[in-house]
Amino acid sequence: MWTAQLPALVIAGPPAAAPVAARRPGASWSWAFAALASAASFAIAMLLALAATEVTAISYAVGSWPPPFGIELRITGFSALLMLIITGASTIALVGGKASLDSDIAPARRHYFYAAWLLAVGGLVGIVASGDAFNIFVFMEVSSLATYILIAAGGNPRALPAVFKYLVMGTIGATFYLIGIGLIYLMTGTLNLVDMETRIHDVTDLKPIYAAVGFVTLGLVLKAGVFPLHVWLPNAYAWSPHVVTAFIAACSTKVSLYVLLRFDFMVFQGSLGGHDLQFAGFLMPLAVLGILVASAVAMTEGHLKRMLAYSSIAQIGYIVLGASLMSVSGLTAGIVHMFNHALAKGTMFLAIAFIATRLTALRLDDIAGIGRRMPWTLGAFLVAAMSLIGLPGTAGFISKWYLVLAALQSGAVGALLVAVVLVSSLMAVYYIWRVVEAAWSSTPGAEAAGAREVPLPMLAVLWTAALASIWFGLQPGLPLALSRSAATYLLGQLQ
Amino acid sequence: MKYFGLYNYWVFTLLLMIGLYAVIAKANLVKKLLGLSIFQSAVFLLYISMAKVDGGTAPIIQHADEPQVFSNPLPHVLILTAIVVGISTIALGLAIVVRIREEYGTIEENEIQARDRDR
């Protein structure tokens, strides 16, 4: 049946479309082609997500070489959820962000920009689809290199030192991961993740495996921007083209977290005694510190995009916190938060991209009074911000609710964790309020006074994304089902 | 001999640390990239070392009556890919350094930071 080829199509599609997008310098043409390719991937990801709710995993042998000898693509509920996030964020950012991209990217470079965009999408989808450790490394580097290009593609010179830092730290992270899988290969002779898990049981000298756990975990924590290894993140988000921020803030760090959870829970958990306690003991303090410190920095940050970047670091903390609770409800909370946060933060950065088509600077002083001039754009921003804070009725509430429930089940430390979640939610209220206060200030800046609302088609895309945060708050069925199947799948090794 | 028998792995560790040191300690962006390159090359050595089989030759079909011991070809193939990844990373990094030099007029990290503060 043709649907059997979907896992291969979803990976091969965007990279195959990239050279076509790069062929014709006509800017609108390559934009339309990239948006079309991205939407097609989104459709395939939907089909795969529906198929993945029915089985544990869809296995696809690349080139008909049976795993573990050939490369295996392995689509689980977890990977399907991430695929939806990646292709959905890419499609919404491309469709809604054309005006912003046209003003940010020089016309002569646009067709290459869209080619790099498609490569980034293909690489990210490849990471979550692949069941082969080395294959994941290659896709990781494909997506990272393309992302560096996207970040540096705008006209802002400050993006260049930021992307250099990201490149150096990203490469160190990926190389650590490569050392880790090298050590595992040395001891087990396999690169297939499922095969790896069973073969580690037979390893007698576990020292290289323990070293591998360290390298893999640290490398991926670095790439995921978990506090305190987040230093590359704020500037890379802040100075990149605005639509690129909307795309990468929604998915790139979450894909690294996916690999982290996949490795630590599927490969190491079942085969190394006490690994769960070490994993939780290492990551839980980092998550709590990340939530509190990054939220505090966001409260004092004066630049709109940097503020939201620090808020993203805090949200990564929530995801890691959920995972480090080591229970089905905790993991479900963490994984569904990947989806809900991608939706909220993607919408907020897209709204900022719209504001940036009217204003040249994005400090809080510069956006004074913009809410009166662009009420619909700022309205969508606020709807998404409510989901970020976690007000009842929004998607963000679902993930925080599950996180609090999971924390309360985890014994003595639980009450403290609930306090952390509540305090950081209040901090989020504060930094979002600063934006509201500035945006609806009665003394508008010179630029804001002359700003007009963006055209209706752009608003339609933005509001679709914003209302999705409400929709998935009231009807959390699909993301919650995928997250729960992911959580039980990951924890299956423990029970 | 127990600790120095597998000296390849010691060289791997040493190269890895030299590379990481250069990335962290040097302020010049090109030197940072050189460090990154050494760091990555160290990993190539790790993979190639683990592929070694005593007395093994290249995995090409030989006469059936000769005993055939091959080196493990898989890590070699993996590293062929990793080398390409490494080259692309360094090339992109150098391209960014060229752009930084155009915009900032310097490739020293502290001077770039000073100029960013003045903006």
Nearest-CA distance from B60 to chain A in Å? 19
A222–chain B Cβ distance below 8 A for any pair: no
**B85 contacts A138? CB cut-off 8 A:** yes
Model confidence at A284: pLDDT above 70: yes
> Taking 60 as the threshold, does the pLDDT of residue A366 lie above it?
yes
Q: What is the mean pLDDT of chain A?
A: 87
Q: At residue A321, does pLDDT exceed 70?
A: yes
B119 interfacial to chain A (CB closer than 8 Å): yes
Q: Could B50 and A172 be called an inter-chain contact, meaning their C-beta atoms sit closer than 8 Å?
A: no
Which tens digits make up the pLDDT trace of A55-96?
Answer: 777 888 888 888 888 888 888 888 889 999 999 999 999 998
* Residue A274: burial class (beta carbons within 10 Å; 0-12, 13-18, 19+): exposed
| Residue given tokens 């127990």 in the structure block | B2
- Amino acid symbol at B43: V
Answer yes or no: is pLDDT of A424 > 80: yes
**Three-state SS for A414?**
helix
Question: Average of pLDDT values for A155-182?
Answer: 92
Q: What angle do CA A255, A145, B30 make, to 5 degrees?
A: 130
Answer whether 0.90 is exceeded by the pTM: yes
pLDDT at residue B57 tops 80: no
| Phi (first) and psi of residue A71, to 5 degrees | -80, 135
Looking at the DSSP assignment, which residues form a beta bridge with residue A72? Answer: A61
Tell whether omega for the bond before A19 is within 30 degrees of 0, i.e. cis: no
Whether residues A179 and B40 touch (CB distance < 8 A) is answered with no
Residue with tokens 């996180």: A403
Output the CA angle A304-A251-B43, nearest 5 degrees. 110
Q: State the average pLDDT over residues A199-228.
A: 88
The segment with the largest mean pLDDT, out of A121-125, A365-369, A408-412, A468-472, is A121-125
SS3 category, A72: strand
Instruction: Assign A136 a pLDDT band (cuts: 50, 70, 90).
Output: very high
**Tokens 């590379």 sit at which residue?**
B19
Res B51 pLDDT > 90? no
A260-277: pLDDT as tens digits: 998 888 888 777 777 777
If you average pLDDT over residues B57-78, what whole number do you get? Answer: 79
DSSP secondary structure letters along A338-396 = HHHHHHHHHHHHHHHHHHHTT-S--BTTTTTTHHHH-HHHHHHHHHHHHHHHT-TTSHH
pLDDT given for residue A271 in this prediction: 72
Residue A327: CB atoms within 10 Å: 18
Measured in angstroms, the CA of A338 and the nearest CA of chain B are apart by 28
pLDDT at A104: 85
Mean pLDDT, residues A184-203 taken together: 86
Amino acid at A368: A
- Tell me if A473 sits within 8 A of A396, measured CB to CB: yes
What's the pLDDT at A443?
Answer: 78
- Out of A158, A164, A175, whose CB is closest to B43? A175
pLDDT of residue A172: 94
Write the CB contacts of A351 (distance below 8 Å, at least 6 apart in sequence): A377, A378, A380, A381, A384, A462
Does position B1 have pLDDT exceeding 60, yes or no?
Answer: no
Residue A409 pLDDT grade (very low, low, confident, very high; cuts 50, 70, 90): confident
pLDDT at A45 over 80: yes
Q: Is the pLDDT of residue A403 over 70?
A: yes
Estimate to the nearest angstrom the gap between the alpha carbon of B114 and the chain centroid. Answer: 31
- Give the C-alpha separation, B8 to B14, whole Å: 10
pLDDT at A494 over 70: no
The model's confidence at residue A100, banded by pLDDT at 50, 70 and 90, is confident
Q: What is the pLDDT of residue B2?
A: 66
Contacts of A141 in chain B (CB under 8 A): 85, 88-89
Tokens 């679902």 belong to: A398
Q: What is the pLDDT of residue A61?
A: 83
Query: Among A183, A181, A407, which residue's Cα sits nearest to residue A288?
Result: A407
Query: Tokens standing for A416?
Result: 């403290």
- What six digits make up the tokens of A215? 């390298």
CB atoms within 10 A of CB A78: 26
Mean of pLDDT values over A320-330 = 87
Mean pLDDT in chain B? 87
Which helix (H) or strand (E) is B21 found in, with range?
Answer: helix B7-25
What is the pairing mode between strands A57-61 and A72-76? antiparallel
B87: Cβ contacts below 8 Å, ≥ 6 apart: none
Spell A276-309 as b/e; 16+ CB within 10 A means b. bebbbebbbebbbebbbbbbbbbbebebbbbbbb
- φ/ψ of A75, rounded to 5, equals -95, 115
Q: Which of A31-35, A38-42, A449-453, B16-20 has the lowest mean pLDDT?
A: A449-453
B-chain residue closest to A137, CA distance? B82
> Measured between CB atoms, which of A138, A161, A178 is closest to B100?
A161
Give the pLDDT confidence of B89-106 residue by residue, as tens digits: 999 999 999 999 999 888
From the CA of A135, how many Å to the nearest CA of chain B? 9
Reply yes or no on whether the pLDDT at A373 is more than 90: no
Instruction: Name residues 163-182 of chain A within 8 A of B (Cβ).
Output: 163-164, 167-168, 171-172, 175, 178-179, 182
Distance CA B115, CA B119 (A): 7
* Nearest residue to B31 (alpha-carbon basis) of B116, B115, B109, B111: B109
Burial class (CB in 10 A: 0-12, 13-18, 19+), B74: middle
Give CA–CA dist A330/A402, Å, rounded: 7
Separation of alpha carbons A146 and A143, rounded Å: 5
Rounded to whole angstroms, the Cα distance separating A390 from A378 reads 18
Beta bridge mates, A74: A59
Across the interface, whether the CB atoms of B116 and A161 are under 8 A apart is answered yes
Among residues A64, A167, A75, which one has the least CA distance to residue A126? Answer: A75
pLDDT tens-digit series, residues A289-318 = 999 999 999 999 888 999 999 999 999 999
